[in-house]
Amino acid sequence: MVEGDILGKLAQQEIALRIGVLALQGDFREHMNMVERCGHEPIKVRLPEEVELIDGLIIPGGESTTFGIIMERYNLIAPIRKAASSGMPVFGTCAGAIVIAKEIEGSNQQRLSIMDISVRRNAFGRQVNSFEADIEIKQLGELPFRAVFIRAPIITKVGEGVEVLATFEGKIVLAKQGNIIACAFHPELTNDLRLHQYFISLCETYAKGRMNK
């Protein structure tokens, strides 16, 4: 192989990203598995200093009130807010989407408040606590995405600069504000890597920007 080929290959090669997964509670292992399947290194995040080592953070599903309490106890709120405001991508799924919202209907539970959305917890009612549905996400192409909803929230209001990426029965279930994504369902419980890949592409842009600084 001539040298030019090698350099070309190196230029094309994806950089190994460190994708953090908040590992305090909930289904963080499934997210770590998805990150690995996307070809990147999942990093468990539990300590404030770990937030500085990562190129993006996934906040999994679980119980949002518990996340709030543990994040506060572990002093994670300020470092995550700081990283998010400096452009680090954050992907909140289900309880994670609640935790990143500025407003949670009828609740003053602890939260990160890093995305200008209002959410309603357990919005699909008790009788349909869990279900699956195919939803359309234009950014991911033609093929519908199988969305798993488990005591899922919905996004009831979006502020300026928030893009709605998907709805289900007229309710907003996926939205993005710059580097922050809120997802009402569980993409980590399917075999479809597209949403994780989409998030990781934001992390890649962020990591490259950081390297060039």
| Near ligand GLN in 151-190, by CB under 6 A | 151
d(CA 136, CA 144): 5
CA distance 139 to 129: 27
User: What are φ and ψ of residue 42, in 5° steps?
Assistant: -80, 135
Angle at which helices 194-211 and 28-37 pack, to 10 degrees?
Answer: 70
Find the part of the chain contacting ligand GLN (CB under 6 A) among 33-41, 73-81, 92-100, 157-165. Answer: 92-100
Q: Is 103 a catalytic residue?
A: no
Task: Please report how close the Cβ of residue 98 comes to ligand GLN at its closest, in angstroms.
Answer: 5
Dihedral sign, Cα of residue 133, residue 135, residue 140, residue 142: positive
183 is catalytic: no
Using CB under 6 A, which of 31, 111, 121, 176 touches ligand GLN?
121
Instruction: Name the minimum Å distance from CB 95 to ligand GLN.
Output: 3
- Site residues, ligand GLN (CB under 6 A): 61-64, 94-95, 98, 121-122, 150-151
The catalytic residue positions are 94, 186, 188
